[in-house]
């Protein structure tokens, strides 16, 4: 087992809020500590989509990094989401996260404006040139409207600080090709792809489900590393009912993760508009799926 530049088993951590919607730094520190010390996570990704980055301020993002780094120190790799559709703003966020103590940066493809590939590449290079931290590219065309094409990724791999990819492109041939031809560390950003991507040379995962089931997600990779492939596949399948409840039943993972964490008495709080909280029936279904997973062999 090798630890990638952003860890191996990273949680896409939710951002806890107080009941009145303010940033809950005490809750963030408590949750981060639990995820690292008891939750099977050697990495935390802050201020991604699951962390409600569209509705947190720049100051809140910086404060969150400082608080989590203070709580877990060097026991985990802390990666800060800094991507926006504005290159200059992304650089500002990257510099602030570096100053706050982040160990790495997650930079999503510029969204909505759909820049051509040359502009996508220049965006990433500009951010990587501005900082001294490793950069993880976030390829999620279903949300951004633009993917990072294979040739673009191959070219970006030459940059000394572009070190990894959070892969939500659902294109295993593309991913395997880039893994084969570069040293980029590929992290699954889609729970159902955790094992398949790892099996073709991926570095690990960045997981929303790990907010509540990190040890179970980690066990899949551990089994694969032992050569117990049938066991890895079995453990992967056991995670699927909870994964479907959290990621594929019509609500964003932020909403379902916060509902389940709250039901388990863990730091979470409300979501910010335009997101809305899960209903009681959804929360009950999440708890049932979680308990079935925990009770499984």
Helix residue ranges, H only, 248-296: 253-263, 280-295
Q: Where are the domains of the chain?
A: 9-226
What is residue 163's predicted lDDT score, i.e. its pLDDT? 98
Report pLDDT digits (tens) over 199-257. 999 999 999 999 999 999 999 999 999 999 999 999 999 999 999 999 988 899 999 99
Average confidence score pLDDT of the chain: 97
Report pLDDT digits (tens) over 62-115. 999 999 999 999 999 999 999 999 999 999 999 999 999 999 999 999 999 999
Contact 207, 181 (CB under 8 A): no
Catalytic residue among 166, 187, 198, 290: 166
What is residue 3's predicted lDDT score, i.e. its pLDDT? 77
Count of residues for the chain? Answer: 297
pLDDT of 1 strictly over 60: no
Alpha carbon 42 to its chain's center:
12
Q: Is 258 a residue of the active site?
A: no
Q: How many beta carbons lie within 10 A of that of residue 16, not counting itself?
A: 25
81, HSE (Cβ side, Cα atoms, 13 Å): 29
Catalytic residue among 61, 111, 112, 138: 138
**Whole-structure pTM value:** 0.97
What is residue 297's predicted lDDT score, i.e. its pLDDT? 65
Q: How far apart are CA 129 and CA 95, in angstroms?
A: 11
Write down the CATH number for the domain with range 9-226.
3.20.20.70
pLDDT of 27 strictly over 70: yes
Q: Is 138 a residue of the active site?
A: yes
Report pLDDT digits (tens) over 29-41. 999 999 999 999 9
């Amino acid at each position: 087992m090798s630890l990638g530049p952003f860890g191996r088993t990273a949680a896409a951590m939710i951002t806890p809020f107080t009941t009145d919607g303010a940033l809950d730094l005490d809750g963030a520190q408590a949750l981060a500590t639990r995820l690292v010390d008891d939750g099977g996570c050697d990495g935390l990704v802050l201020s991604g989509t699951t962390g409600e980055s569209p509705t947190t301020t720049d100051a809140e993002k910086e404060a969150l990094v400082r608080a989590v780094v203070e709580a877990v120190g060097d026991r985990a790799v802390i990666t800060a989401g800094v991507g926006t559709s504005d290159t200059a703003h992304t650089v500002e966020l990257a510099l602030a996260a570096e100053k706050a103590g982040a160990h790495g940066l997650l930079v999503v493809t510029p969204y909505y404006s759909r820049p051509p590939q040359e502009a996508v590449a220049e965006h990433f290079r500009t951010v990587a040139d501005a900082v001294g931290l490793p950069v993880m590219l976030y390829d999620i065309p279903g949300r951004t409207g633009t993917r990072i094409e294979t040739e673009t990724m191959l070219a970006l791999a030459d940059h000394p600080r572009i070190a990894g990819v959070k892969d939500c492109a659902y294109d295993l041939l593309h991913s395997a090709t880039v893994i084969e031809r570069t040293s980029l560390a590929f992290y699954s950003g889609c729970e159902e792809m955790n094992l398949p991507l790892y099996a073709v040379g991926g570095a690990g995962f960045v997981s929303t489900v790990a907010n509540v089931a990190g040890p179970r997600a980690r066990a899949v990779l551990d089994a694969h590393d032992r050569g117990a492939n049938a066991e890895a596949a079995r453990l992967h399948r056991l995670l699927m009912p909870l994964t479907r409840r959290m990621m594929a039943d019509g609500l964003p993972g932020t909403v379902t993760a916060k509902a389940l964490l709250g039901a388990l008495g863990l730091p979470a709080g409300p979501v910010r508009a335009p997101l809305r909280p899960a209903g009681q029936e959804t929360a009950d279904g999440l708890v049932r799926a979680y308990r079935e997973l925990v009770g499984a062999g």
